[in-house]
């Protein structure tokens, strides 16, 4: 039986776990949604010894504190007999590109996420089996513009020419699974249409049959520090390598298809916390 050990059973990891379990996999994990305590070294190493695949979605510690999974279990993972090693990183490692396209060859570590960039590089250096997935804004059930608009928490910010990339959580899952039979390396998993956050909010409002929020300046919006940092960067994320090398193709190639699918299948809920929730490190 194929089995996966997941460090950090966050939002994306739980969706992946459900998909794998549905395909007959054994999935174990650490975190509040997992079945193993991260600090229980004996249990973690026992699960690692039985795993065929291992994935980390745990963010690095702030201010250069290192990656807790690598610091605690990196040597065990490298010495294990697993077939596949994965790490969920962030396209935030690219920093601000002034709206330009970035692919996996772009320099990392120039932006606000220096700790994430360091962890990204450290995972790459760990072992030849490692796949690193750089993810932009993640959305899906209970965590989308539909929820923020429905709950009155959405913002439209007047920042001309600013664009972002995003990806539906199901497309991350399919990309990770596609890499099981593909080569190791770094992959951007993003949709095909980088665009402004305003366009996404406007489409969500249209689908809900309500007015879009009024346009505001950054000062008027009174955003959290995390959201302000989010709006300080501007880039388009290229996904061609994952398509070409892994044979991956997003089922939701733009936010329009993604939001329509969510509107058809779920009711907006109160899980997101602010406009930057989609780029949270809690993957």
Whole-number pLDDT of residue 267: 59
Query: What pLDDT tens digit does each residue of the chain (283 aa) get?
Result: 899 999 999 999 999 999 999 999 999 999 999 999 999 999 999 999 999 999 999 999 976 679 999 999 999 999 999 999 999 999 999 999 999 999 999 999 877 778 999 999 999 999 999 999 999 999 999 999 999 999 999 999 999 889 999 999 999 999 999 999 999 999 999 999 999 999 999 999 999 999 999 999 988 888 888 888 888 899 999 999 999 999 999 999 999 999 999 999 875 443 333 333 333 334 6
Residue 116: both structure tokens together: 């994430």
In the chain, the DSSP E strands lie at: 3-7, 26-29, 53-56, 84-90, 101-102, 130-135, 137-139, 156-157, 166-168, 185-188, 215-216, 236-237
- Which has the closest alpha carbon to 2: 50, 70, 61, 65? 50
CATH of the domain at 189: 3.40.50.720
Predicted local distance difference test score (pLDDT) of residue 65: 73
Q: Tokens 């007015």 sit at which residue?
A: 211
User: In angstroms, what CA-CA distances link 56 with 61, 68, 238?
Assistant: 14, 10, 23
Provide the number of structural domains found in the chain. 1
Q: Which residues contact 264 (CB under 8 A, 6 or more apart)?
A: none
Six-digit token string for 223: 């955003």
- Structural contact between residues 201 and 149, judged by C-beta atoms closer than 8 angstroms: yes
Name the DSSP class of 185: E
Q: By 3-state DSSP, what share of the chain in percent is helix, strand and coil, each rounded to 5?
A: 40, 20, 40
| pLDDT score of 110 | 77
Contact 16, 170 (CB under 8 A): no
Residues of the domain holding 54: 3-279
Q: Are 48 and 75 in contact (CB under 8 A)?
A: no
Does the predicted model carry a pTM greater than 0.85?
Answer: yes
Here the tokens at position 9 are 């059973």
């Amino acid at each position: 039986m194929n089995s996966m050990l997941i460090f950090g059973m966050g939002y994306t990891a739980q969706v992946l776990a459900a998909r794998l379990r549905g395909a007959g996999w054994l999935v174990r994990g650490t975190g509040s949604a997992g079945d193993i305590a991260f600090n229980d070294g004996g249990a973690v190493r026992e699960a690692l010894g039985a795993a065929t695949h291992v994935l980390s979605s745990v963010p690095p510690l702030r201010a250069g504190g290192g990656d807790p999974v690598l610091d605690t279990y990196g040597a065990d993972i490298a010495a294990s007999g697993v077939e596949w090693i994965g790490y969920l990183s962030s396209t935030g490692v690219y920093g601000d590109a002034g709206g330009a396209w970035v692919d996996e060859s772009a320099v990392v570590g120039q932006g606000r996420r220096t700790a994430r960039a360091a962890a990204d590089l450290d995972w790459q250096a760990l072992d030849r089996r490692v796949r690193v997935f750089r993810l932009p804004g993640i959305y899906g059930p209970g965590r989308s513009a539909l929820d923020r608009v429905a709950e009155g928490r959405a913002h439209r910010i007047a920042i001309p020419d600013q664009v972002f990339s995003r990806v539906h959580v199901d497309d991350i899952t399919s990309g990770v699974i596609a890499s099981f039979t593909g080569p190791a390396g770094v992959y951007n998993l993003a949709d095909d249409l980088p665009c402004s956050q305003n366009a996404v909010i406007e489409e969500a409002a249209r689908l809900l049959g309500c007015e879009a929020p009024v346009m505001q300046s950054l000062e008027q919006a009174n955003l959290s520090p995390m959201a302000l940092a989010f709006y300080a960067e501007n880039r388009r994320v290229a996904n061609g390598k994952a398509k070409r090398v892994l044979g991956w193709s997003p089922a939701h190639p733009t936010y329009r298809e993604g939001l329509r699918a969510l509107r058809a299948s779920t009711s907006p809920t109160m899980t997101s916390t602010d406009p930057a929730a989609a780029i949270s490190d809690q993957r």
